[in-house]
Amino acid sequence: MSEKLSFVNPTANSPWGTYLSQVDRVVPYLGPLARWVETLKRPKRALIVDVPIEMDDGTIAHFEGYRVQHNMSRGPGKGGVRFHPDVTLEEVMALSAWMTIKTAAVNLPYGGAKGGIRVDPKKLSLQELEKITRRYTSEIGIIIGPHTDIPAPDVNTNGQIMAWMMDTYSMNVGGTATGVVTGKPLHLGGSLGRVKATGRGVFVTGREAARRLGMDLRGARIAVQGFGNVGSVAAELFAEAGAKIVAVQDHTGTIVNTNGLDLSKLIPIANKEGVIAFKGGDVVPNEAFWDTACDILIPAALEGQITAERAQKTTAKLVLEGANGPTVSSADDILAERGVLVVPDVICNAGGVTVSYFEWVQDFSSFFWDEDEINVRLDRIMMNALNQIWDTADKHKITLRTATYAVACERILMARQERGLYP
């Protein structure tokens, strides 16, 4: 944050700053709705909570947690919870804002929210992880709920953590409230297809973008940064379509194999020990990941990874943003100038929130769909959204990112205008 804490003064190169400049770029395409644009530059509500827990060694540790509800003009807040040592309020603000844009871009009846705790969960025991999750849930319990704000998994959170969140909220309200979180295990009202949904959405939008570029996926070389839920599932689906995964990077390092990495062997090892424990590729310095010869680049780790310098050196012709906010604004311009097509995060990784929506709907109706139905509906929603965004980009001769913002912001601001300002 800048010296004077304020929503509108972002720290240089921060994710919130990136988001604000993305909103500025869309203003010329908003027509009369532009008078409402300031509403997108401020979160509706930001809660900071202290999360104290007793550690296994008997000491008391305090962690800082956040829940930000960026915009609820179109429906309840929706967005994941991140456990990571670098989490800050400003980061959570940006992530919540990208959820607002994303849910509107795919036309789900939600606003945008996000949460996080500044903690390295890899250093916690299972018991400590459960305590921190439950205390955090209880603290943010005053603003979340099935009809107000529905958390989900994000970096370092998973179905087990969602189960603890659901249980804690349920205990506090005195009933079983399955609809308070999505990404739950199947027997607790989770949905088939949720775990793979974000990676699948990256694949569906990437396949369509490749088709429009005239790029054959068979033999296409792909580099993936971040090999967790999103990166590994997307990589698997592209490999099934005939592509070669030539480079993978995670928090342990980078491996490269120009003949293609064997994912059936790599994934189980990466899940346990990290990618550099895999022997079927060469370990290279992390910076070498960005100039590995490839056709498609999939950032699926954290924000701010594609810097101006890395945008200059990538050989990719297509960037699929599995992660949220992986490209800084200056890099976006360089990629556009170099003719590299970017499918932006706010559409590319919207598969997860789309199946979260299906989960929420199934929980309310207590009627569950089979996986084929989930995947068919997911593909249809993603393709409809992408085609509409593409038409907008062609019409105004703008990037897919600005076109996505144009479509999404129009929906959000129209809802804002129709609701009017209270009081």
Considering only the stretches 117-125, 204-212, 246-254, 381-389, report the one whose residues sit in contact with ligand NAD under the rule CB under 6 A.
Answer: 246-254
The structure tokens listed for 245 are 């995964």
Longest distance between any two alpha carbons in the chain, whole Å: 63
Nearer to ligand NAD, 167 or 345 (CB): 345
> Tokens 């319990």 — which residue?
141
Using alpha carbons, select from 189, 190, 96 the residue that is nearest to residue 143. 96
Near ligand NAD by CB under 6 A: residue from 43, 141, 226, 344: 226
Q: Which of 14, 18, 182, 229 binds ligand NAD (CB under 6 A)?
A: 229
Phi, psi of 82 (to 5 degrees): -110, 135
Nearer to ligand NAD among residue 149 and residue 154 (C-beta) = 154
Give the one residue of 251, 312, 333, 417 binding ligand NAD; rule: CB under 6 A: 251
How many H helices and E strands in the chain? 13, 12
Q: For residue 165, which amino acid is it?
A: M
Q: What is the smallest separation between the CB atom of 349 and ligand NAD, expressed in angstroms?
A: 4
Of 65 and 231, the one with the shorter C-beta distance to ligand NAD is: 231
Residue of the chain from 149, 250, 359, 379 that contacts ligand NAD (CB under 6 A): 250
| Residues 136-155, mask of contacts with ligand NAD (x by CB under 6 A) | -----------------xxx
Q: Does 156 bind ligand NAD (CB under 6 A)?
A: yes
Per rule CB under 6 A, is residue 87 in the interface with ligand NAD?
Answer: no
Q: Are 104 and 177 in contact (CB under 8 A)?
A: no
User: Residue 299 carries which side chain, given as an amino acid letter?
Assistant: P
Among 225, 314, 375, 404, binds ligand NAD (CB under 6 A): 225
- Residue 43 or 151: the one with the smaller Cβ distance to ligand NAD is 151
Q: Which residues contact 37 (CB under 8 A, 6 or more apart)?
A: 23, 27, 30, 409, 413
Q: Is 115 in the site for ligand NAD (CB under 6 A)?
A: no
Catalytic residue among 78, 102, 114, 196: 114
Question: Minimum distance between the CB of residue 330 and ligand NAD, rounded to whole angstroms?
Answer: 20
**Residue 155 or 222: which CB sits closer to ligand NAD?**
155
Minimum CB separation from ligand NAD for residue 188, in Å? 17
Smallest distance from the beta carbon of 44 to ligand NAD, in angstroms?
20
Contact 267, 234 (CB under 8 A): no
43: left (phi over 0), alpha (psi -120 to 50) or beta: beta
In the complex, least distance from residue 154 CB atom to ligand NAD, rounded to whole angstroms: 5
CB of 231 to ligand NAD, least distance (A): 6
244 is known as an active-site residue:
no
Give CA angle at 98 (97, 101), nearest 5°. Answer: 95
* Contact in structure between 329 and 21 (CB atoms under 8 Å): yes
Least distance CB 351 / ligand NAD (angstroms):
8
CB of 5 to ligand NAD, least distance (A): 24
- Positions in 287-346 near ligand NAD (CB under 6 A): 300-302, 322-324
In this structure, how many other beta carbons lie within 10 angstroms of the beta carbon of residue 237?
18
Return the number of the residue (27 or 291) whose C-beta is nearest ligand NAD: 291
Distance (Å, whole) CA 221 – CA 292 = 10
Nearer to ligand NAD, 87 or 340 (CB): 87
- Asked if 355 and 193 count as a contact pair (C-beta separation under 8 A), the reply is yes
Q: Which two tokens stand for residue 120?
A: 């390295």
- Which residues have a Cβ under 8 Å from the Cβ of 130 and sit 6 or more positions away? 164
**Nearer to ligand NAD among residue 37 and residue 280 (C-beta):** 280
Asked if residue 76 lies in contact with residue 150, where contact means CB atoms within 8 angstroms, the answer is yes
**Size of the residue set binding ligand NAD (CB under 6 A):** 23
Pair 307, 285: CB distance under 8 Å: no
One residue of 14, 191, 198, 314 binding ligand NAD per CB under 6 A: 198
DSSP state for residue 306 in the 8-state scheme: B
CA distance 265 to 375: 26
What residues from 340 to 399 belong to the interface with ligand NAD (CB under 6 A)? 349, 352
Using CA of residue 29, residue 31, residue 33, residue 38, what is the dihedral sign? positive
Residue from 96, 249, 292, 362 touching ligand NAD (CB under 6 A): that is 249
Strand positions, DSSP E, 324-377: 341-343
| Residues making contact with ligand NAD (CB under 6 A) | 153-156, 198, 225-231, 249-251, 300-302, 322-324, 349, 352
Residues identified as active-site: 114
